[in-house]
A and B are shown apart, each in its own frame.
Chain A
């Protein structure tokens, strides 16, 4: 599988001269599975440019996997070009709710007065799926989607193909009620998603200093992201869901701080940046590569 980051900003898009290097688009990652199946992780503003790529290529079914329905993860959907192609088939996967279907919940956003066009008016053929509790197959990948600690129903994803794996947990506060190292792995939110994963894209929204005043917002500090990656023995940590107030310079400082905290000599944590391409390699012991 190959992954490309189209948006790695959290909470709010943050375009401007201070974010040119990392990018200002909200969460969106494209996965191309080994069999060619296109998968899109979240529909933040980054999905707009990704949609242009799809429009220029094939019209095979696209699978859009939503971690949750906070606006920064769905706000680009109405601008996703394949939705406006009547020959396009789109499968939308998201966390279930006992209150309303996934389609009904997405339609609340994609309808007036929040959006001028209703979801039902978009010409593509869209199928909605509640994410199953157990592992399931998507194209050539095995997919695990499990609830994680965040505000509101939220999942993280793990994709596996032939011993290569990638976990995507953009919004996650695993150390809300416990300190790192305080509980056994089975009692740590998200552990199964990230255990010995090749590449882990994980929430690292705050500095350690900022976290104190944002505790309970559903996000991690850089230190918590590093602690989570270390306890799960993730091979490579990509810092994700950058705070909109953090410019490139501050993010480089956070990246350096993550490197200081990292207790291994290999695969020092890296900032997720727009355009970054990632390719997990087959895991023998700890070897994985990410190509920027």
Chain B
């Protein structure tokens, strides 16, 4: 009989952490798939996790256009979450996100790789903090 595989424990705990705090967090797996975001992050994403399910990286990033505050574009591979995943280091930048409904938000993104054992990336947890007044 095929048995169910567990997600890596640090990813489970990251999801539980995000689910229990009032700051907006998203959780990505090692492939960049959006596996969870909490209620405070729903406003940014526009839907709830139960409505969206898990989204591959190109799909969830396709829900926004992203630029820097000076208006210059940001490639998908240059966002903090992509850097954290690729380079296995924390990354931070304040970016302007425009969602499909046209709403623009200035958001400080802080992404941290989740490493298991010595150097095995199991995911990324990222704080999406809306900058007030912009």
Contacts and interface: CB of A to CB of B under 8 A. Distances in A.
Contacts of A178: 16, 19
B28 to A, nearest CB: 14
Interface stretch (A107-115, A146-154, A271-279): A146-154
Interface in A185-219: 185-193, 195-196
A98 interface: yes
B103 interface: no
A59 to B, nearest CB: 34
Interface stretch (B5-13, B87-95, B123-131): B5-13
A149 to B, nearest CB: 7
Contacts of B118: 98
Contact of A189 (B1, B3, B9, B20): B9
A186 B5 contact: yes
B19 A191 contact: no
Nearest to B116: A147
Chain A: interface residue count, which band? 20 to 34
Contact of B117 (A96, A185, A186): A96
A146 B11 CA distance: 13
Contacts of A17: none
Given A147-B9, A149-B12, A186 B4 contact: yes
A187 B9 contact: no
A16 interface: no
Contacts of B19: 177-178
B3 A192 contact: yes
B5 to A, nearest CB: 6
A176 interface: yes
7 contacts: A149-B9, A149-B12, A176-B16, A177-B15, A186-B4, A189-B12, A193-B6
